[in-house]
Structure 1
């Protein structure tokens, strides 16, 4: 059990590490595939740190929606940076957005990028098809990266050549990207060390803090977080305590900023179920593990469409 005093001592060290994260990256042009909140967030942060970014999606409508996400987020950032200067706020937003191009042409966007980051839906077949196209279009020295939170990087890269696999990694950003500091840098057994080093430098250069890990189910955060989350659900199923009391206990007793049920509702119950069911069915070293066994309560809520904040109801009502 962590003591508050030990946590307090750890915080300055963590901040000090973050503050020295301004590493030099050779990467200048970035292509981000997927204009949703994750993809647009990644594009925003990269552009805010002087990278030229191309945001790619299947339709102009999706791209404009992604640009809208960025403009709204940048507006909030600008108000904090220049609280008394409306003109400076506008210049800041325009400057960052000016580094972001919108495109529906996947091959053209990948063709000039030093780093391609995929932020599409969690569908293994779709991701494999995407990376097969990216591998054919991107420069030989480009780094290919997936933002997947739960799918094995090596499995996504399975259709690629041996040379492309050496330049394929995971870059798992956290939502909301502009606020969350952590990026998990996921290395496969095939990935070159220089590729991992270059990815770490890129992450530091955009003001984030990298955590390097092996290509294992859930990487670091989700591998630890989901068993905790599922055990909270089972406490509820056994009528040990209410969601509110469990959340209160973990926030005040363990110092967590959010309780497990608040977190589930924020992430999306359908997302939690998708990951857990996948691991229980075929996760490497996890298949059949009781930690990830199906939950009747979770299944019931998802079936009813109570997915959390995004639907207005999950474990709580919003």
Structure 2
């Protein structure tokens, strides 16, 4: 479809009007003013505009304190901002950015008014992250000049800007706002018009699943948030992030996504509606998933759902000797964790050579810690002396805790547990490090299922603080308490969860990764753009395709299949592109090719 001729000038916009001076609109105004643009901030009522100016005064003052602006630059930026309560103040703007509430009626009325006020060549941008840009543009007298310009909160800090084109948008308009975004020091990503675009399209599905997980009482809000922060390196847990975004805003975005996709993963979890209807919309209301010291504040205060201190009511069993079964990276890492904490460790592998190689890997890791000043040479030597390699599970006879860390194959694990059951003394706790297989199936391979539990470490075990403690329906309170106490001793943060596919982290992480693959498979965005969007807009330490190539596409596919098998949700079915790449042997870094090419190791 050809776009009509455009009156849009390709020169960079000098005067920009921002309609809507809430948190996002005020942040955008600050970014523009600091970058040398003249800004007209427009909102209904002088109280709103006065509040926005006060926020700008405070925010720029903090920027001076932190050395990001000089006093002179701050004064110049503030002088470039004027406010108004009438849309007619946008008459001379080269670009208008609308950041009004997420309502078609509200936004369409603004665009109709702007059509009568601004010049034909003025670009009209909507800051929506949920509504259809095409639908908004279609109501405009000049749909070719309407596009989406989606900043992320807080706008001064977040580098990503999504530039959203509809089928009606002029390429000239896209070129102008892309240039502006670059001039503002942002990273623009060009996307098409669909609810959530790239970053929120992936982020809100993940947030919705976290809300549903909490609602099902599978895990506490604190454990869900801690698991995703410590297990994935995210700056904030999903439920805390929902409170920051606004529970009502998240519900609106998800409703729009579900209307477009009919994917159950986008159907808002009922708890989002319940909280919204009750006015418990997050930080701005002083209460959402958490309770805050004051509306608009960030300080969480205890409430009726806050876990009580004091630890488990049942005492754990004493642990002095730990057996670790396995010889891979995870097994050697776990052995190091226990030995550093002072436990005697028996490291068993299929051969003495493999066991010694695993111990050598620990020695190399300890040497790196010594080199970085994290450990003394004497402490490293003592740690290594506490690890005894062996090729026989019989040497687990004195183990108080046996940790299985062999291949992610249920039959192999069941054989290991059957062997451990025969040699470990009565009362010893048997733990599996599985990330996707049913713990209870391992337990049923023994005569002591009450003593079997999941203890899911994350890789690399010495560095990652999280351990998912997985109880089956048969696990005893004593076994659970023992593992919780051991986690505290080895300085890991334990989170409790039940025995179902993915536990907390993988159950939330891998559907997000799968949805990213679907975006590429549908030719909506490239792996590079999606990775940039999630790093810059979501604060993720790695983009989804970087992470998939590191984890291994075959491992990822196995976890996706396990999740789909467990929950039978069509939205969890592995993306066809992922299936095809695995079938072709493109497994990520380990094979030299996954979603990207890699140097073979």
TM over 0.5, shorter chain: yes
Aligned position for 1:73: 365
Please state if 1:311 is matched with 2:594: no
* Counterpart contact for 2:366–2:380, Cα < 8 Å: yes
Aligned position for 1:98: 385
State the distance in 2 between where 1:211 and 1:227 align.
21
State the distance in 1 between where 2:585 and 2:461 align.
26
**How big is the shift at 1:296?**
2.3
TM, length-normalised to structure 1:
0.87
TM, length-normalised to structure 2:
0.47
**How big is the shift at 1:203?**
0.7
State the distance in 2 between where 1:226 and 1:300 align.
17
Q: Kindly provide the CA deviation profile for residues 9-50 of structure 1, in whole angstroms up to 9, marking residues without a partner as x.
A: 689xxxxxxxxx9xx982110000001000000000100000
State the distance in 2 between where 1:92 and 1:311 align.
37
Please state if 1:133 is matched with 2:133: no
Aligned position for 1:278: 562
Please state if 1:198 is matched with 2:482: yes
Aligned position for 2:580: 300
State the distance in 1 between where 2:338 and 2:542 align.
28
Residues matched between the structures, number: 297
**How big is the shift at 1:89?**
4.3
**How big is the shift at 1:317?**
2.1
Q: Which of 53, 57, 66 is equivalent to 2:349?
A: 57
**How big is the shift at 1:148?**
0.2
Superposition misfits of 4+ residues, deviation over 3 angstroms: 8-11
**How big is the shift at 1:91?**
2.6
State the distance in 2 between where 1:129 and 1:276 align.
25
Q: Which of 547, 550, 553 is equivalent to 1:263?
A: 547
Where 2:342 maps in the other structure, the secondary structure is: coil
Cα distance change on mapping 1:253 and 1:201 into 2, 3 Å: same
Q: Kindly provide the CA deviation profile for residues 241-285 of structure 1, in whole angstroms up to 9, marking residues without a partner as x.
A: 1111111111111111111111111111110111222333x42xx
Q: Kindly provide the CA deviation profile for residues 80-135 of structure 1, in whole angstroms up to 9, marking residues without a partner as x.
A: 236xxxxx743332211110000001122x21100000001111111111111111
Aligned position for 2:277: none
Aligned position for 1:123: 409
Aligned position for 2:53: none
User: Is 248-257 or 175-184 further displaced after alignment?
Assistant: 248-257
* Counterpart contact for 1:301–1:314, Cα < 8 Å: yes
Aligned position for 1:179: 463
Q: Which of 17, 27, 30 is equivalent to 2:319?
A: 27
Mind listing any 5+ residue stretches in structure 2 that lack a counterpart? Answer: 1-203, 205-240, 246-282, 284-296, 301-310
State the distance in 1 between where 2:298 and 2:581 align.
40
State the distance in 2 between where 1:247 and 1:304 align.
23
Aligned position for 2:27: none
Aligned position for 2:228: none
State the distance in 2 between where 1:10 and 1:99 align.
43
* Counterpart contact for 1:75–1:89, Cα < 8 Å: no
Q: Kindly provide the CA deviation profile for residues 118-173 of structure 1, in whole angstroms up to 9, marking residues without a partner as x.
A: 00111111111111111111111100000000001012222322xx1111000000
User: Is 64-73 or 249-258 further displaced after alignment?
Assistant: 64-73
Q: Kindly provide the CA deviation profile for residues 216-262 of structure 1, in whole angstroms up to 9, marking residues without a partner as x.
A: 11110001111111111101101111111111111111111111111
State the distance in 2 between where 1:97 and 1:171 align.
23
Where 1:166 maps in the other structure, the secondary structure is: helix
Where 1:112 maps in the other structure, the secondary structure is: coil
Cα distance change on mapping 1:9 and 1:262 into 2, 3 Å: farther
Please state if 1:165 is matched with 2:445: no
Quick check: which has more Rg, 1 or 2?
A: 2
Please state if 1:240 is matched with 2:524: yes
* Counterpart contact for 1:56–1:63, Cα < 8 Å: yes
* Counterpart contact for 1:74–1:93, Cα < 8 Å: yes
* Counterpart contact for 2:507–2:563, Cα < 8 Å: no
* Larger fraction in helix: 1
Aligned position for 2:495: 211
* Counterpart contact for 1:25–1:205, Cα < 8 Å: no
